[in-house]
Structure 1
């Protein structure tokens, strides 16, 4: 798979590459945050059509997310986020999305840095560029897709343009999934109050009760298969429901750094602590069951004998272990240390002696175990952690 990063100029123009002078392309366009089942359905259709027509399969992926750029501009005097801007609301980083696209068999990924000038171009101009520059023969979109200035290029407008010009075709994928749900307009993380996977608060509500809930939470209607719904579920600790929409385990990635050493020195549970630059959406504070995957040190994959990322991420990889995962401010120790920053730490359940400092670690979530609790002493904490390990093994064995 080839990956090309493209930055529009000040006028919003992109220097699109010429993929071939003779071979056509089947293209899809979007942010693809989370790579949920709807996204996967669209991309799988691109690959299918490309193989059937002996064309290139192409994904044009926007980064940062378009909605984030427009929101930032609306709150920062029409300026745009800079290169150091961290999108903490993104479910997945660009590299995580590209990894899934590779697994699905895409030939070309064109990563376009989304800008206001680029967004101001009409959908007709944009599609004309794709036909003329990339040799697009078919564009594959989800049923609710919209593009171009003021999002006027919906599937109806694009279909009319395709029929009028005759130079490309539109293929619409039914990516709506199992229907719609309502989520709060402002998603505020809310840690579950008790142990176990939280239930949907709207389950069993009458229509009147659901209307009242929506009014109280300024609820908006979104697809079940949507990034917004996944973000809401993770913010409430509803990991299993989020994973069902994603079609895979939600994961975050970061570099392992030195922590307070309390895990091994005081309680006998050595943990891998992720630094502050974590890729992917961090679920609400709590203790979770899941897995950790050692992705190796940066640059290690370039070594001849080093295992590939694909090998490390495989289901039965030797670099993958069940893990009890804690997200929060470690209330039992924060008063003594004065450290109150939010941290992610994972205890890999293995007999091996692991030295992960400086390694990239992928942390995958299988289920919510319990909320963060301040314990009265070390013995009580150790007993709780032993229970977390037992529950983690039970849950991960069931899920594997």
Structure 2
């Protein structure tokens, strides 16, 4: 898979590459945050049609997320976020999305830096560029896709343009999944109060009760297969339901740093992730069962390495694969430190993973991947160190069961 990064000029124009003078392309466009089952259906269709037509399969991937860019601009007098602004709402980093696209068989990924000037271009102009520069013969989209200035290029408008011009075909994929769900307009992460994987709170509601709940919380309809729904579920500790929509385990990545090392003193040494390096959406505070994967030494800080290439290297697949020698079952804790941070003035969230292995792991300075399998319990304060150790022992045994 070939990966190309493209940055629009100040007017929003992109210097698109010429992929071939005689070979056409099947193209899809979007953010694909989370790479859930709906995204996989769209990209799978691109690959399928490209093989059928002997064309290139092409994904135009926007980074950062449009939601981050427009939200940041609204809060900062029209300014755009710099590279130092973390997107804490993104389900996955770009490297994770690229890995999955590679595994799906995509030929070309064009990673376009999303800017306000680029967003101001009309969908007609954008699609004209796709046809003229990339040789697009077919555009594949999900059912509620929209693009261009003011998102005017929805599926209906693009279908009309396709029929009127005859220069490209539109192929629409049903990427909704099993219908829709209602999510509160003011939904916020809420840590479960009980031990064990949370149940769907709406499963036992009657239609009348669900209507009353929706009205009270101003709930909005969202596709079941959507990044918004996955984010909501992770914010409620519902890992199993989120993973079902994703079609894979939700994961984050970060660099291991020295922590307070209290875990060592009680027999549970943990890999502590530097929050500033974490990519991927952090589920709500709590203790989870999952996996810890050693991705190798973090990229050097000499400014010359290309993270986009390094983190989609060929050996990543071997490291991430189930059964690889670089992965271990892990009990994972997410929570806030009570100590005051002089750097931010805030209580920072900490991610700690205890790898269940008989070997000593030296992971400081390594990039690691943390995958979530299930919710174990909320964060609670224990009366003594002995009580904490006993509970951690139970968490380890439950993790072994869930990851067997």
Q: TM-score, normalised by structure 2?
A: 0.93
Counterpart secondary structure, 1:308: helix
1:270 aligns with 2:269: yes
**Structure 2 residue aligned with 1:294:** 294
Taking a change above 3 Å as real, the CA distance of residues 46 and 367 of structure 1, as seen in their structure-2 partners, is: same
What is the rounded CA distance, in whole Å, between the counterparts of 1:186 and 1:94 in structure 2?
27
Q: Supply the RMSD in Å over aligned alpha carbons.
A: 1.9
- Distance apart, 1:211 and its partner CA: 2.2
Matches within 5 A, 1:72-111: 72-111=72-111
1:326 aligns with 2:325: no
What is the rounded CA distance, in whole Å, between the counterparts of 1:326 and 1:65 in structure 2?
27
**Structure 1 residue aligned with 2:304:** none
**Structure 2 residue aligned with 1:47:** 47
**Structure 2 residue aligned with 1:59:** 59
**Structure 2 residue aligned with 1:394:** 401
Counterpart secondary structure, 2:50: helix
Deviates further, 37-46 or 180-189:
180-189
**Structure 1 residue aligned with 2:303:** none
Matches within 5 A, 1:375-386: 375-386=382-393
Counterpart secondary structure, 1:193: coil
**Structure 2 residue aligned with 1:150:** 150
What is the rounded CA distance, in whole Å, between the counterparts of 1:60 and 1:181 in structure 2?
28
**Structure 2 residue aligned with 1:180:** 180
**Structure 1 residue aligned with 2:363:** 356
Deviations 1:50-107 (A, max 9, x none): 1111111100011111122122222222222122111100000111111111111111
What is the rounded CA distance, in whole Å, between the counterparts of 2:33 and 2:69 in structure 1?
14
- Distance apart, 1:216 and its partner CA: 2.7
What is the rounded CA distance, in whole Å, between the counterparts of 1:75 and 1:21 in structure 2?
44
**Structure 2 residue aligned with 1:344:** 351
Taking a change above 3 Å as real, the CA distance of residues 287 and 121 of structure 1, as seen in their structure-2 partners, is: same
Structure 2 alignment gaps of length 5 or more: 301-306
Matches within 5 A, 1:238-253: 238-253=238-253
Taking a change above 3 Å as real, the CA distance of residues 205 and 245 of structure 1, as seen in their structure-2 partners, is: same
**Structure 1 residue aligned with 2:282:** 282
What is the rounded CA distance, in whole Å, between the counterparts of 2:84 and 2:384 in structure 1?
41
Matches within 5 A, 1:128-277: 128-264=128-264, 266-276=265-275, 277=277
What is the rounded CA distance, in whole Å, between the counterparts of 2:366 and 2:83 in structure 1?
24
What is the rounded CA distance, in whole Å, between the counterparts of 1:284 and 1:187 in structure 2?
12
- Distance apart, 1:160 and its partner CA: 1.3
What is the rounded CA distance, in whole Å, between the counterparts of 1:119 and 1:330 in structure 2?
39
What is the rounded CA distance, in whole Å, between the counterparts of 1:146 and 1:246 in structure 2?
22
What is the rounded CA distance, in whole Å, between the counterparts of 1:49 and 1:165 in structure 2?
21
**Structure 1 residue aligned with 2:121:** 121
What is the rounded CA distance, in whole Å, between the counterparts of 1:253 and 1:156 in structure 2?
38
Residues 255 and 298, structure 2, Cα contact 8 Å, conserved in 1? no
Structure 1 segments of 4 or more deviating over 6 A? Answer: 300-303
Taking a change above 3 Å as real, the CA distance of residues 47 and 307 of structure 1, as seen in their structure-2 partners, is: closer
What is the rounded CA distance, in whole Å, between the counterparts of 1:33 and 1:307 in structure 2?
22
Structure 1 alignment gaps of length 5 or more: none
Q: TM-score, normalised by structure 1?
A: 0.94
What is the rounded CA distance, in whole Å, between the counterparts of 1:36 and 1:292 in structure 2?
21
What is the rounded CA distance, in whole Å, between the counterparts of 2:81 and 2:337 in structure 1?
32
Counterpart secondary structure, 1:60: strand
What is the rounded CA distance, in whole Å, between the counterparts of 1:340 and 1:73 in structure 2?
26
Counterpart secondary structure, 1:294: strand
Aligned counterpart in structure 1 of residue 317 of structure 2, from 310, 314, 327: 310
Residues 62 and 111, structure 2, Cα contact 8 Å, conserved in 1? yes
- Distance apart, 1:207 and its partner CA: 2.5
What is the rounded CA distance, in whole Å, between the counterparts of 1:173 and 1:121 in structure 2?
25
- Distance apart, 1:248 and its partner CA: 0.1
